Amino acid sequence: MSSLPAASHSTILEVARDAGVSKTSVSRYLGGERHRLSPAMQARIAAAIQRLGYRPNQMARGLKGGRSKLIGMLVADIRNPFSVTVLHSVEQACRARGFSLLVCNTDNDPDQERNHLALLASYRVEGVVINAAGRPSAELKALAEQGTPIVLLDRSLSDVDADVVGLDNAGAIDMAMDHLLERGYRNVLYVSEPPEGASSRQRRLERFRQRLAQAPELTGETACLAMQRDSDALRQALHGFVSRESPAPRAILCANGNVTLQVAHALNALGVSLGETGLLGIDELDWCALAGPGITTLAQPTEAIGQAAVESLMQRLAPPGRQAPPRRTEYAARLIARGSTHR
């Protein structure tokens, strides 16, 4: 009763022969048109498929119809928990709609981004979710001009006609500042990674400065540093801020999860006690409750963001009439107050 190990992949033709029917019938059986086949034939085809261990070849399938059933996703930093959570939700949303996800990590490198984009194009992905690392490239424009739907995640790109899905950055900064003010902090250091090439960073920084300008009772400053590369600079900046004479209670606002992590490390090394010196970070991380008295954060609705991204794609995928103009979807952050902002 043992079947021979199929040397290679069997084809629809072999199935057809084995079942004694035509290729077309098998194709129909597979393509969700079984209702048009006689029960007898269905049974024979099913048996043949089973017997041969047949698996349809998506490559060939995509060739003819142009439907690769593939969505591409460009992630700027796969090791960023925020990205991963969004990725997770994007993948689920895709799968729920019968698409697979081709994931590319760019490590925030524009060159890699371009290569990956070309790659995705070569696999004829039907849509692309991009957490952009660089400026709009020729590859991206080519993709857009070919009519491939594009959704920008977290970071928008000038000159690109695409939906953008992400956090309400200004609102998040507002929320953070309101919280810090309410808790009595009056001197705020805003720490960010370099904002060039990441619109969300720019937007947050900009809003922080606006808030500073609007609130006379508040003083503040900003520090933009490449976190991983020079942790020394970060430590120095923090040391300067923390040790300086200041009657106003101090707090540090971290522009994203990575910043929060690095700042927490630096403060830890400096022996700064959280709470007395406030600390608030954008992005919720699963360990934030564990560091010192707990770190107050602004959680992003990552699930919603991922789903919205795919939803956008799907709408542009089915072009019934005229395409709607690019849309911007912004989600509100959620404050999770912990000990680090409790004086």
Partner DNA sequence: TTGTATGCGTTATCAC
Partner DNA sequence: GTGATAACGCATACAA
Site of interaction with its own copies (CB under 8 A): 5-9, 53, 55-60, 62-63, 68, 78-79, 81, 84-85, 87-88, 91, 100-105, 118-119, 121-124, 142, 145-147, 261, 264-265, 268, 285-287, 289-292
Q: How far is the CB of 210 from its own copies (least distance, A)?
A: 32
Closest approach, Cβ 196 to DNA, in A, equals 36
The distance of closest approach from Cβ of residue 26 to DNA in the complex, given in angstroms and rounded to an integer, is 7
Nearer to DNA, 105 or 148 (CB): 148
Q: How far apart are CA 281 and CA 274, in angstroms?
A: 13
Q: Which is nearer to its own copies, 37 or 103 (CB)?
A: 103
Handedness of CA 198, 101, 172, 234 (dihedral sign): negative
Of 287 and 328, which has the nearer Cβ to its own copies?
A: 287
| Minimal distance, residue 215 CB to its own copies, in Å | 31
Q: Of its own copies, DNA, none, which one sits near residue 287, judging by CB under 5 to 8 A according to partner kind?
A: its own copies
- 31-56 per-residue burial string, b: 16 or more CB within 10 A, e: under 16: eeeeeebeeebbebbeebbeebebeb
Give whichever of 30 and 212 is closer to DNA, judged by the CB atom.
Answer: 30
**Which is closer to its own copies, CB of 302 or CB of 312?**
302
* Helix, strand or coil, per DSSP, at residue 137: coil
Closest to its own copies by CB, 138 vs 213, is: 138
Closest CA to 37 of 20, 49, 25, 23: 25
Q: How many residues does the chain have?
A: 343
Q: Which does 43 bind (CB under 5 to 8 A by kind): its own copies, DNA, none?
A: none
Give contact residues for DNA (rule: CB under 7 A): 9, 11-13, 21-25, 27-28, 30-31, 36-38, 40-41, 54-57, 60-61, 63-65
Q: Least distance in Å: CB of 7 to DNA?
A: 11
CB atoms within 10 A of CB 216: 7
Pairing verdict, β 296-299 and 334-336: antiparallel
Minimum CB distance to DNA, residue 52 (Å):
10
Judged by beta carbon distances under 5 to 8 A according to partner kind, the member of DNA, its own copies, none in contact with residue 100 is its own copies
> Residues of 276-295 as b/e, b for ≥16 C-beta within 10 angstroms?
ebbbbbbbbbeebeebbbbb
Complete DSSP assignment for 188-219: EEEEES--TT-HHHHHHHHHHHHHHHH-TT-E
Q: Which residues pair with 279 in a beta bridge?
A: 252
Q: Which does 261 bind (CB under 5 to 8 A by kind): DNA, its own copies, none?
A: its own copies
Q: Which does 243 bind (CB under 5 to 8 A by kind): DNA, its own copies, none?
A: none
Q: Which is nearer to DNA, 23 or 235 (CB)?
A: 23
CB of 328 closer than 8 Å to CB of 110: no
Distance of closest approach, residue 65 Cβ to DNA, in angstroms: 4
SS3 (DSSP) at 220? strand
